[in-house]
């Protein structure tokens, strides 16, 4: 039995940091474990231009803990009006590393998202020419489509036609949740990767409802059936370089998560690597955690792998009931439960 894991310092290839006091509250959790992170642009208002991304990047750098060298990798929020010229500016900036596709209304702060991919052809063509990855929230938003089928339908109706029309476009299928997505990414032609969250590796949709509705397990895309969770574990632990770590850690105040409407997102940045270690150990695949966490994402984004290392030790720790969140409370995923691993730095 392994009691100590030493890994190349990992990166988080899908992260929500928010802004202002919320940013200051959550950034230390990520910076403690990860060297870099792809930072999502769905602020209010969204980060739609290179200039706005530069400003947001400076706010993140200013909020870093003293002595931290954490590097935010910025993204632009794709809209119906994103121009080819803006994509060129982003590609030339050196700090914008991807563009994010949110179908309008798909998730938190996605109201300004894309209503019709046909309106984005100029931007998508420019991304293809500049080698700029498109990070995809892969769900359709048609209310006639069952919530649990929206990822599968997105593949058939949106993703396959998109990649047929833009065959050189580099695509990251974000936070995949189904066997359908894992199979597609594994078998598709061209440059495609996928991020997988710790919560989708560890939990199925029962977690949302056991003992009553549990809002802190509610995320989008929503947790799926057990067979889908098993398929994600198989993909993540396979050693296939198309699958890599992306927490999709999404902080929301306790009061907002537990309100009449609630909101989608699980906060996992506090204990991200311990959660992934738990999932990989259950699959008897700890020997493949380093590549998934520290190698494959950097390779896809054409960035150098990190040089430093981090350590996790086998030791029990209780996940806090809540964390400070800019004057409010933030409840981490599985609060109050015990983990068998501890990140020691």
Q: For residues 50 and 58, what is the distance between their CA atoms, to the nearest angstrom?
A: 12
List binding-site positions for substrate: 16-18, 42, 137, 220, 252, 264
pLDDT of residue 113: 80
pLDDT of residue 279: 98
pTM: 0.96
* Residues sharing a CB contact under 8 Å with residue 174, sequence separation 6 or more, in sequence order: 14, 135, 136, 137, 138, 194, 195, 246, 248
List binding-site positions: 14, 16-18, 42, 100, 137, 175, 220, 248, 252, 264
Angle between helices 272-282 and 226-236 (to 10 degrees): 100
Cα Rg of the chain, angstroms: 19
Q: For residues 306 and 133, what is the distance between their CA atoms, to the nearest angstrom?
A: 20
Calculate the CA dihedral of residues 182, 143, 267, 334 and round it to 10 degrees.
-80
Q: For residues 155 and 203, what is the distance between their CA atoms, to the nearest angstrom?
A: 23
Please choose, from the candidates 202, 213, 311, 323, the residue with its C-alpha nearest in 3D space to the C-alpha of residue 261. 213
pLDDT of residue 104: 74
pLDDT of residue 2: 85
Peptide bond into 307 cis (omega under 30): no
CB atoms within 10 A of CB 91: 18
Give the chain's largest Cα–Cα span: 54
pLDDT of residue 4: 96
pLDDT of residue 103: 83
Which residues make beta-bridge pairs with 173?
136, 194
pLDDT of residue 110: 55
Would you call 248 a catalytic residue per the annotation? yes
Coil, strand or helix: which one is 340? Answer: strand
CB atoms within 10 A of CB 322: 13
Please choose, from the candidates 266, 284, 278, the residue with its C-alpha nearest in 3D space to the C-alpha of residue 312. 278
Distance of CA 187 to the CA centre of its chain: 22
pLDDT of residue 249: 98
* Residues sharing a CB contact under 8 Å with residue 54, sequence separation 6 or more, in sequence order: 74, 93, 95
What parts of the chain have a pLDDT lower than 50?
Answer: none
Structure tokens at 293: 């966490």
Question: Which domains, ranges and CATH numbers included, belong to the chain?
Answer: 12-305 (3.20.20.140)
Q: For residues 253 and 331, what is the distance between their CA atoms, to the nearest angstrom?
A: 7
- Burial pattern 92-127, b for ≥16 Cβ within 10 A else e, equals ebeebbbbbbbbeebbbbbebbbeebeebeebbbbb
Structure tokens at 11: 């990166």
First-to-last alpha carbon distance for the chain, in angstroms, is: 21
DSSP string for residues in 85-131: HHHHHHHHHSSEEEEEE-BTTSSTT-TTSBS-GGGGHHHHHHHHHHT
List binding-site positions for Zn(2+): 14, 16, 100, 137, 175, 248
CB atoms within 10 A of CB 190: 12
pLDDT of residue 107: 58
Long-range contacts of 61-67 (CB under 8 A, 24+ apart): 63/23, 63/24, 63/27, 64/27, 64/31, 65/27, 65/28, 65/31, 65/32
From 80, 116, 248, 260, active-site residue: 248
Distances (CA, A) of 123 to 33, 43, 129, 179, 288: 34, 21, 10, 30, 36
């Amino acid at each position: 039995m392994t009691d100590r894991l030493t890994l190349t310092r990992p990166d988080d290839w899908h992260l929500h940091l928010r802004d202002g006091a919320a940013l200051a509250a959550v950034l230390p959790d990520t910076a403690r474990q990860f060297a870099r992170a792809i930072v999502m642009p769905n602020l209010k208002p969204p980060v739609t231009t290179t200039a706005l991304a530069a400003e947001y990047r400076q706010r993140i750098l200013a909020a870093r803990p003293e002595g931290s060298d954490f590097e935010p990798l910025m993204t632009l929020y794709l809209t119906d009006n994103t121009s080819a010229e803006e994509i060129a500016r982003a590609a030339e900036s050196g700090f914008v590393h991807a563009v994010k596709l949110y179908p309008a209304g798909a998730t938190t702060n996605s109201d300004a998202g894309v209503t019709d991919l046909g309106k984005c052809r100029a931007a998508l063509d420019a991304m293809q020419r500049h080698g700029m990855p498109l990070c995809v929230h892969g769900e359709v938003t048609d209310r006639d489509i069952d919530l649990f089928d929206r990822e599968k339908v997105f593949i058939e109706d949106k993703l396959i036609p998109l990649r047929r029309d833009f065959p050189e476009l580099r695509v990251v299928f974000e936070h995949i949740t189904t066997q359908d997505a894992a199979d597609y990414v594994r078998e598709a032609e061209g440059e495609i990767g996928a991020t997988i969250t710790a919560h989708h590796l560890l939990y199925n949709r029962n977690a949302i409802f056991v003992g009553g509705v549990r809002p802190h397990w509610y995320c989008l895309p929503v947790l799926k059936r057990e067979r889908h969770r098993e398929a994600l574990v198989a993909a993540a632990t396979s050693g296939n370089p198309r699958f890599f770590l992306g927490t999709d850690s999404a902080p929301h105040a306790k009061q907002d998560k537990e309100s009449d409407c609630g909101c989608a997102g699980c906060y996992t940045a506090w204990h991200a690597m311990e959660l992934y270690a738990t999932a990989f150990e259950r699959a008897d695949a700890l020997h493949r955690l380093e590549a998934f966490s520290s190698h494959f994402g950097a390779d896809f984004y054409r960035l150098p792998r990190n040089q430093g290392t981090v350590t996790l030790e086998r030791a029990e720790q209780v996940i806090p009931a809540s964390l400070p969140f800019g004057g409010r409370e933030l409840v981490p995923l599985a609060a109050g439960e015990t983990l068998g691993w501890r990140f020691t730095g």
